[in-house]
Structure 1
Amino acid sequence: MTKPPLVETPEGWVPAGLKVRGKASATAPKAQPDVGPASLAESVLVAEPEADPPKTAAESKASFRPMPVLTVLSIICLGILYMLGDWQWAKYVEKSRAPALSTATAPVSVAAALQSSQPDYRPVELTGLVDPRSVKVRALRDGISGYRIFSPVVLEDGWIFVDRGFVAEADANKVPALSGQVSYRGVLRKGAKANSFTPDNDPVLNVWFWPDLPAMGTSLKLTGGSPAYYVALNLVDPLATGQTQINPWADSKGANQIPPERHLGYALTWWGFGFALIGVYTGLHIRTGRLRFGRSPS
């Protein structure tokens, strides 16, 4: 016996021809939804969320494919930034450790100062015969290129170079030669290379970029020893104009008036640029898909 077809009514699905609340159901049945086992299974399959595809080995492992040109340029820039920061850090350490000079400190002889535990920046006074020859050491002061004039002074127990002051490059040939006995006051300074960026001297061509005192003495054929220190005069007048000036290389804070705290700021700035460059380099490689980090399995 076949069952009558079902029709849809406001009250739900009922057999065709059945009266519901005094009304007969429609004789033309509408399509009955298939609620059989196959349909139910299909609906369950549709409703079930789709599973994530399995991760491949490339997606689960870290990978890095550097850009060749960018990598080389970044390494060069990082090296330069590091050296600039290291240079400023060395200046900061040097100036921080420099003893403060006191005007009340009485100067001593050069020999006594050289025998002290800290000869650098020790106030001294000397009397001796000045050699008319001099050595011009290239220098930069207040943005002006020029030379520092070093003249040897013969003492009772040897000789020592004296820094007579700075002259602009245009006035280098106007420095008068000194002779006879002189008396000076200044501070002992150690002849040393300023930093790794300072060029090397060329004694053969008589080109000097820093006071290499033994080599300077050899170039003038001085005998009796090559001291490691020179005397930076407190007041200088290398052109003999009658107007003395303060010699910045005799200052206990170094060869210029920049405080040590500013050198520390410069060092941190250069190194900060280096870290920023690393961040930009890493971010660019991540954005272009050349740098992937491994993902742990869930």
Structure 2
Amino acid sequence: MRFLIPLIFGLGGFAVLVSLGLWQVQRLSWKEAILADIETRIAAAPVAVPATPEPEDDRLLPVTVGAEVTGDPIRVLASAKGFGPGYRLIYPVRTDSGRALMIDFGLIPVEAPLPRMTGRAMDVTGNLHWPDEVDGFTPEPDLGADIWFARDVPAMAAALGVDPVLIIARASDPTVVEVTPVPVTTDSIPNSHLGYAIQWFGLAFVWLGMTVFLLWRIRRRTV
């Protein structure tokens, strides 16, 4: 009996921790499949912008459009890996078919002047997106300084007087040399399941080691 109770708790705890590790391995496979599907969707052949794009059905849809910049941009404070802090430039454009929408051309450094874009015509390839960046902690836009703190598609569209359709530019012809494109990727989607699995398996073997040590101590006391 002296050995039985610690052994039951030891093996039971080990089994629970291992099962949690295996669950995270299953979650890892599930998340990798989702990411692969998203990457395939992002990189698919671009199509024309749908007549009535839907935020759920058309999110990340690759599109190509001929457009002319029609006004000054909205500046959204942001940053990117390898770039640092800057402003995303969201420009109002009119497409060759006459539609008014928005294009996120990418980042400029915070100290850089706004490029002269109004009147430029170009062909743009990118992805439709409705970023989920607004929460209860997001400040309201500083309209006096012309700085926004998140890409709120409906609010930006209302401010620019265009349809609530945003294209994240991947490339343009001619190239907008003043702006660094920040195309949509899966990099911002968290996938920590491998790390969690390693932690659970590590805890399982620590638990097993402690159980063996406890049984050894009990045995020594009974000798």
1:60 CA drift (Å)? 3.3
Q: Does 1:176 align with 2:96?
A: no
**Residues 235-289 of structure 1: CA deviation (Å, up to 9, x unaligned):** 342527xxxx7x4516xxx277xxxxxx99x756424423333324423541453
Q: Which runs of 5+ in 1 are unaligned?
A: 1-55, 65-73, 257-262, 291-298
1:167 aligns with 2:167: no
> Residues of 2 paired with 1:182 and 1:202: CA distance?
33
> Which amino acid in the other structure matches residue 146 of structure 1?
G
> Over residues 7-39 of structure 1, what are the superposed CA-to-partner deviations in whole Å (9 max), with x where a residue is unaligned?
xxxxxxxxxxxxxxxxxxxxxxxxxxxxxxxxx
Amino acid of the structure 1 residue aligned with 2:71: D
Tell me the residue number matched to 2:200. 275
Q: Any unmatched runs of 5+ in structure 2? A: 11-16, 216-223
Alpha-carbon separation, structure 2, partners of 1:87 and 1:166: 33
Flag the 1:135–1:98 CA change in 2: closer, same or farther, 3 A.
same
Q: Partners of 1:199 and 1:146 in 2: how far apart?
A: 23
Identity among equivalent positions (%) equals 11
Contact 2:59 2:130 in 1 (8 A): no
Quick one: which of 210, 214, 221 aligns to 1:289?
214
TM-score when scaled to structure 2? 0.58
Per-residue deviation at 1:217?
Answer: 2.9
> In the alignment, does 2:39 pair up with 1:95?
yes
After TM superposition, give the deviation of residue 188 of structure 1 in Å.
3.0
The CA distance in 2 between the partners of 1:181 and 1:248, in whole Å, is: 20
1:127, CA displacement in angstroms? Answer: 2.7
SS at match of 2:214: coil
- The SS at the match of 1:234 is strand
- 1:223 deviates by 3.8
State the partner residue of 1:6: none
With normalisation by structure 1, the TM-score equals 0.46
CA distance in 1, matches of 2:154, 2:160: 9
The C-alpha deviation readout for 1:28-62, integer Å capped at 9, x for no partner, is xxxxxxxxxxxxxxxxxxxxxxxxxxxx4x54333
Q: Which whole-Å CA distance do the structure 1 matches of 2:79 and 2:31 have between them?
A: 18
Check whether the contact 1:187–1:231 (CA below 8 A) recurs between aligned residues.
yes
Flag the structure with more relative contact order, 1 or 2, with Cα contacts below 8 A and sequence separation at least 6: 2
In structure 1, how many angstroms separate the alpha carbons of the residues matched to 2:107 and 2:161? 26
Paired with 1:97 and 1:88, the residues of 2 have a C-alpha distance of 15
Q: CA deviation at 1:132?
A: 0.9
Alignment of structure 1 residues 198-277 onto 2, 5 Å: 201-205=138-142, 206-209=147-150, 211-218=151-158, 221-223=159-161, 225-227=163-165, 229-235=166-172, 236-237=175-176, 239=178, 247=181, 249=183, 254=185, 269-277=194-202
Structure 2 residue aligned with 1:47: none
Say what the alpha-carbon RMSD is for the aligned residues. 4.5
Matches of 1:189 and 1:149 in 2, distance apart? Answer: 16
Cα 1:93–1:281 shift into 2, 3 Å:
farther
Relative distance call for 1:285 and 1:216 in structure 2 (3 A) is farther
One-letter amino acid of the structure 1 residue matched with residue 127 of structure 2: L
How does 1:122-141 map onto structure 2 within 5 Å?
A: 122-141=62-81
Aligned pair count reads 189
